[in-house]
Every structure is written in structure tokens, then in C-alpha cells.
């Protein structure tokens, strides 16, 4: 497959992607991407949670987590990826591996 060489080529190649297919094991950044998109469309927190619940079921993440995500994007966050240092620290060392 050839890589797109311009924005026009990129748009044409993206038409072949099935955006309606389900992601069986989504990661946090995928949820954040959807939240960021829906918020940019002007949806409020309740509507974002409702729409995502319809697709993934009610236990994909709590409404409080969606609310926090929306707040961070509203406050200027642009990245959908975990910030450096977030999450549980690894206890694996080279000696253990």
C-alpha cells in the first residue's frame, strides 16, 4: 500500500476505512479521541456519555471519568495519550526479566 503524498490523497485513502466497526479491546486514548471529537461537535457531557454507552455498553467508563476528560479538554488539553508518569509504576527490572 502506498502512503498518501498529499492531504487529498489521504482523504481518498481514508474512505476505505470502516469507521462503524467495533473495537473489541479499546484503550483509553481511543475513548479520549471519541470524547474529544464529540465535545468539539458541541455535545455536552451527558450526551457524550449517552452516545458512547449506546455503542460500548454502560460500563465502558464512568460518567465521572467522561466528565473529567471533558473538563481537561476544555481546559486546553490536546493530547489523547496518557501523560508521562501517569498510571502504576513498573516493578519489573532487568534483573527480573
| ∠ CA 23-28-31, rounded to 5° | 60
Indicate the domain borders of the chain.
Answer: 19-75
What is d(CA 31, CA 37) in angstroms, rounded to the nearest whole number? Answer: 10
pTM reported for the whole predicted model: 0.59
Q: Per 3-state DSSP, what percentage of the chain is helix, strand, and coil (rounded to 5)?
A: 45, 0, 55
pLDDT digits (tens, 9 = 90+) for 26-80: 678 888 999 999 999 999 999 999 999 988 876 778 889 999 999 999 999 988 8
Amino acid at each position: 500500500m502506498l502512503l498518501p503524498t498529499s492531504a487529498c490523497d489521504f482523504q481518498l485513502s481514508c474512505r476505505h476505512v470502516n469507521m462503524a466497526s467495533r473495537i473489541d479491546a479499546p484503550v483509553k486514548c481511543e475513548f479520549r479521541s471519541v470524547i474529544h471529537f464529540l465535545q468539539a461537535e458541541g455535545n455536552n457531557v451527558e450526551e457524550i456519555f449517552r452516545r458512547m454507552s449506546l455503542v460500548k455498553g454502560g460500563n465502558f467508563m464512568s460518567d465521572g471519568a467522561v466528565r473529567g476528560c471533558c473538563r481537561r479538554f476544555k481546559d486546553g488539553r490536546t493530547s489523547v495519550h496518557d501523560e508521562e508518569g501517569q498510571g502504576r509504576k513498573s516493578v519489573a527490572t532487568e534483573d527480573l526479566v
